[in-house]
Structure 1
Amino acid sequence: MLKQFALKKTWQLNFLFLNMLASPCLIAQGLPELPSIIQPTPAVAELGKYGTYPVSMNTGIPNISFPLFEVNVAEISLPFSLSYHAGGIKVNQEATEVGLGWSISGNMIIHRNVLGTPDEMPEGNFNMAVMDFDEFYAKVSQGGYSEIEENYYDLKASADGAGRDTRPDMFNYNLPGKSGQFMYASDRTYMTFPYEPIKILRNTMGSNYAFSIIDEKGIEYRFRDINKILIDDSPQPRNNYITDWYVTEIVSRTKKDTVYFEYETCGYVKEQKSYYQMMESNASGLEEESYSIVGQEEMRLKRISYRLGEVIFNYNTQRLDRTQSSAKSLDNIRVYDLNDKLVKGFDFSYDYFTANFGLSGYPDSDTKRLKLLSFSETSAAGSDMYKKYEFDYESNISIPRKGEFSQDLWGYFNGKLNFSLIPSKSVQGNDFYLSDLYGTTYCCQNPTTAEQNTTYNIGSANRAVDTSKVRMCILKKITYPTKGYTTFKFESNCYTSELVGTPTVVYGAGLRIANIKNYDFDGALESFEEYKYGVSENGLGEKLFNEDLLFKDYDDYTQEFWEGEMPYTGGCTGRASSWHRKYMGLEVYSALNYNGGNLIYPEVNHYQGTDLSNLSKTKYEYNLVSESILDAPAVYEPKRYLNSGNYANLCHNWTDSQLVKKTSYSKSGGVYTPIYLEEFIYNEIYSKTDYGLLFKELQKYIEATCIRTPGSGGSPYYFIANEFLYKSRAYRMTEKKETSYLPTTSEALVQTTTMSYDNTDHMQMTVSTTTSSDGKTLVNKMYYPDDITSASYLLGGTLTTLQNNAINRLNSDGDIHNVVVPIQREVYQDDNSNGAGDASELISLQRTNFKDWGGSVVLPEEISTLKGVYNSSSNPLQSRIYYHDYDDKGNPIEVSTASGIHIYYIWGYNNQYPVAKIENFTSAQASNVQSLINAVVSASDSDDSQADEDLLRTALSNLRDSSYLSGAMLSTYTYDPLVGMTSMTDPKGYTTYYLYDAFNRLQFVKDDSGKVLSENEYHYKGQ
Structure 2
Amino acid sequence: MLKAYLLLTAFVGAFFLDGTVDAQSLSLGTSLYPGFPFKSSAYSGSSGPLSSAQFQTDILPQSPEAEAMVKYTLLPVTLYSGLPQVSIPIYELKTPNLDIPISLSYNYNGFKPSETASSVGLGWNVQGGGVVMRHVKSRVDHMDVHVVGNDYDNYVNMNYLSNKQDFLQTMGLGEADGEPDLYIFNAPGLSGKFILMQGKAYMFPHQQIQITSLGYDNGFIITNEKGDKYYFEDAERSHHKQTSQFGEYVPDHNSAWFLSMIVSADLSDTIQYNYTTYAFHQPPVYSETLTLTLNQNVSPIPSQNYQESAASGDSILSLSLSSIVSKNAEVDFSPAGTPRTDVWITDSTMYPLGSVSVWGTGSVLERNFTLQHQYFAGKLGLTEVDETLPLTDSGDDTIMQRYTFQYQSPDTNISTIPGWNTHSVDYWGYYNGAQNETLFANADASWVTNQGYTGANRAPNFNYCVHNTLSKITYPTGGYDTLIYEQNTTGNYQVGPSYTAETSKLTVDWYDNSNLPDNHGTRSLSGSFSLNEGQMVHINYTSVDNGYPQTDPFLTIYNASNALVYASNPRPPVLPGVDSVPLPPGAYTYVVTCDSLNGWGVGINYNSYTVTNTLALAPGIRVKEIDSYDNSHPAPVLTKYYTYNNGTSLYNIGAHVSSVNQDASGCYANGTGNCPTGTVYSVSITTLQGSLNPSVSDLINNQFWYGNVEETDISGGSNGKTDYSYGSFTPVDPDVFLTQKTDYKYTYGPYGVQYVPLHQTMTNYGIKDVIDFQTITSTVTDQVFPASSCYTCSNVVATPDQTQPVVGVQNVYSATHNVMQSGYKYVQSTVDIAWDSSGANPVTNETDYYYDNPNHIFPTRLITHNSKGEQVTTQLKYPLDYPITGINAPHTVDSLFNLGAWYADSMYNNCYDNLVAALQPYQPYVNNETNFTNTVNSYNCEGNYATNSQNAFTARNTLWQNYLFSLDSAEWADAVAWHKGVYWMQANHVVSPVIEKYISVQKSDGNDYLVSASRDNYTLAVNTAGDTVAKRTGIQETELTAPMLKTGFLANIDSNYHNEVSVTYDNTNRMSSQSKVNDLAYSYLWGYRHQLVVAEVAGSDPATIASFVNQSVLDNPSNDQTLRTELNKVRTGLAGTKALVTTVTYDPLIGITSKTDAAGRTTYYTYDNLGRLVNIKDQDGNIVKTFFYHYAN
Q: TM-score, normalised by structure 2?
A: 0.68
Q: Which residue of 1 aligns with 2:994?
A: 822
**CA–CA separation in structure 2 for the residues paired with 1:897 and 1:954:** 31
Q: Which residue of 2 aligns with 1:440?
A: none
| Residues 462-473 of structure 1: pairs in structure 2 closer than 5 A | 462-473=457-468
1:888-941, Cα deviation, whole Å (9 max, x unpaired): 1x2101221111122221111100111111211113434xx62x32x2x32233
Q: Which residue of 1 aligns with 2:25?
A: 51
Structure 1 residue 243: Cα displacement: 1.6
Asked if the contact 1:971–1:987 (Cα under 8 Å) also holds between the matched residues in 2, the reply is yes
Q: Which residue of 1 aligns with 2:384?
A: 374
**Match of 2:856, as an amino acid?**
H
1:567-610, Cα deviation, whole Å (9 max, x unpaired): 9x9xxxx9999744332344469899889984332222211153
1:859 aligns with 2:859: no
Structure 1 residue 991: Cα displacement: 0.5
Shift of the 964–48 alpha-carbon distance from structure 1 to 2, 3 Å rule, reads closer
1:307-355, Cα deviation, whole Å (9 max, x unpaired): 222221111321121232211100001111232211212110011114x
Structure 1 residue 832: Cα displacement: 4.6
Structure 1 residue 85: Cα displacement: 1.4
Secondary structure of the corresponding residue to residue 85 of structure 2: strand
Q: Which residue of 2 aligns with 1:640?
A: none
Structure 1 residue 34: Cα displacement: 5.7
**CA–CA separation in structure 2 for the residues paired with 1:833 and 1:80:** 56
Asked if the contact 2:157–2:773 (Cα under 8 Å) also holds between the matched residues in 1, the reply is no
Q: Which residue of 1 aligns with 2:430?
A: 412
1:301 aligns with 2:384: no
Match of 2:418 among 382, 386, 401: 401
1:604 aligns with 2:709: yes
| Residues 939-958 of structure 1: pairs in structure 2 closer than 5 A | 939-944=1113-1118, 948-958=1119-1129
Match of 1:102 among 109, 112, 124: 124
Structure 1 residue 50: Cα displacement: 1.9
**Match of 1:552, as an amino acid?**
H
**CA–CA separation in structure 1 for the residues paired with 2:157 and 2:835:** 59
Shift of the 559–332 alpha-carbon distance from structure 1 to 2, 3 Å rule, reads farther
Asked if the contact 1:131–1:164 (Cα under 8 Å) also holds between the matched residues in 2, the reply is no
Q: Which residue of 1 aligns with 2:1143?
A: 972
Q: Which residue of 1 aligns with 2:358?
A: 335
| Residues 827-976 of structure 1: pairs in structure 2 closer than 5 A | 827-832=999-1004, 840-854=1008-1022, 855-868=1027-1040, 869=1044, 876-888=1056-1068, 890-926=1069-1105, 930=1107, 932-933=1108-1109, 935=1110, 937-944=1111-1118, 948-963=1119-1134, 966-976=1137-1147
| Residues 131-280 of structure 1: pairs in structure 2 closer than 5 A | 132-137=158-163, 139-140=164-165, 152=166, 155-161=168-174, 163-185=175-197, 189-204=200-215, 208-232=217-241, 234=243, 235=245, 236-239=247-250, 240-269=252-281, 270-280=283-293
Secondary structure of the corresponding residue to residue 253 of structure 1: coil
**CA–CA separation in structure 1 for the residues paired with 2:271 and 2:375:** 35
**Match of 2:1010, as an amino acid?**
L
Structure 1 residue 714: Cα displacement: 4.0
Structure 1 residue 561: Cα displacement: 12
Shift of the 286–459 alpha-carbon distance from structure 1 to 2, 3 Å rule, reads farther
Q: Which residue of 2 aligns with 1:290?
A: 309
**CA–CA separation in structure 2 for the residues paired with 1:897 and 1:594:** 54
Shift of the 691–587 alpha-carbon distance from structure 1 to 2, 3 Å rule, reads closer
**CA–CA separation in structure 2 for the residues paired with 1:742 and 1:136:** 63
1:763 aligns with 2:789: no
**CA–CA separation in structure 1 for the residues paired with 2:1073 and 2:5:** 17
Secondary structure of the corresponding residue to residue 38 of structure 1: helix
Shift of the 722–344 alpha-carbon distance from structure 1 to 2, 3 Å rule, reads same
Structure 1 residue 33: Cα displacement: 4.5
Structure 1 residue 557: Cα displacement: 3.9
Structure 1 portions without partners, runs of 5+: 1-27, 141-151, 355-367, 433-453, 629-653, 793-798
Match of 1:494 among 476, 489, 492: 489
Structure 1 residue 38: Cα displacement: 2.0
Name the stretch that deviates more: 231-240 or 896-905: 231-240
Aligned residues: 881
Match of 2:1186 among 1004, 1015, 1018: 1015
**Match of 1:660, as an amino acid?**
T
Asked if the contact 1:542–1:600 (Cα under 8 Å) also holds between the matched residues in 2, the reply is yes
CA RMSD of aligned residues (A): 3.8
Shift of the 82–674 alpha-carbon distance from structure 1 to 2, 3 Å rule, reads same
**CA–CA separation in structure 2 for the residues paired with 1:224 and 1:123:** 28
1:197-244, Cα deviation, whole Å (9 max, x unpaired): 21111223xx83221111111111111122232333541252333221
Asked if the contact 1:427–1:456 (Cα under 8 Å) also holds between the matched residues in 2, the reply is no
**CA–CA separation in structure 1 for the residues paired with 2:708 and 2:697:** 20
1:950-989, Cα deviation, whole Å (9 max, x unpaired): 1221111223212577342211111111211111111110
Structure 1 residue 495: Cα displacement: 1.9
1:423 aligns with 2:441: yes
**Match of 1:227, as an amino acid?**
E
Percent identity between the aligned chains? 23
1:544-571, Cα deviation, whole Å (9 max, x unpaired): 3435xx423232243889999999x9xx
Higher relative helix content: 2
**Match of 1:288, as an amino acid?**
Q
**Match of 1:546, as an amino acid?**
N
Q: Which residue of 2 aligns with 1:86?
A: 108
**CA–CA separation in structure 1 for the residues paired with 2:439 and 2:123:** 24
**CA–CA separation in structure 2 for the residues paired with 1:662 and 1:595:** 28
Q: Which residue of 1 aligns with 2:55?
A: none
Asked if the contact 1:380–1:1000 (Cα under 8 Å) also holds between the matched residues in 2, the reply is no
Match of 2:843 among 749, 770, 776: 749
Structure 1 residue 256: Cα displacement: 3.4
Shift of the 965–557 alpha-carbon distance from structure 1 to 2, 3 Å rule, reads farther
Secondary structure of the corresponding residue to residue 487 of structure 1: strand
1:686-720, Cα deviation, whole Å (9 max, x unpaired): 53212222333445688999999999434296323
1:389 aligns with 2:403: yes
**Match of 1:346, as an amino acid?**
F
1:827-859, Cα deviation, whole Å (9 max, x unpaired): 11232597xxx6x41110111011011223210
Shift of the 822–172 alpha-carbon distance from structure 1 to 2, 3 Å rule, reads same
**CA–CA separation in structure 2 for the residues paired with 1:34 and 1:202:** 35
**CA–CA separation in structure 2 for the residues paired with 1:774 and 1:41:** 41
**CA–CA separation in structure 1 for the residues paired with 2:391 and 2:16:** 20
**CA–CA separation in structure 2 for the residues paired with 1:98 and 1:115:** 29
1:67 aligns with 2:89: yes
Shift of the 865–566 alpha-carbon distance from structure 1 to 2, 3 Å rule, reads farther
**CA–CA separation in structure 1 for the residues paired with 2:1151 and 2:386:** 22
**CA–CA separation in structure 1 for the residues paired with 2:98 and 2:680:** 67
**CA–CA separation in structure 2 for the residues paired with 1:902 and 1:674:** 51
**CA–CA separation in structure 2 for the residues paired with 1:388 and 1:596:** 38
Asked if the contact 1:885–1:895 (Cα under 8 Å) also holds between the matched residues in 2, the reply is no
**CA–CA separation in structure 1 for the residues paired with 2:680 and 2:261:** 60
1:656-681, Cα deviation, whole Å (9 max, x unpaired): 33322222212112111122222221
**CA–CA separation in structure 2 for the residues paired with 1:428 and 1:1020:** 62
Q: Which residue of 2 aligns with 1:16?
A: none
Secondary structure of the corresponding residue to residue 856 of structure 2: coil
1:517 aligns with 2:517: no
Shift of the 712–283 alpha-carbon distance from structure 1 to 2, 3 Å rule, reads closer
Shift of the 1020–823 alpha-carbon distance from structure 1 to 2, 3 Å rule, reads closer
| Residues 431-470 of structure 1: pairs in structure 2 closer than 5 A | 459-470=454-465
**Match of 2:1081, as an amino acid?**
H
1:476-522, Cα deviation, whole Å (9 max, x unpaired): 11001100111111111112499xxx996322311111111111111
Secondary structure of the corresponding residue to residue 119 of structure 2: coil
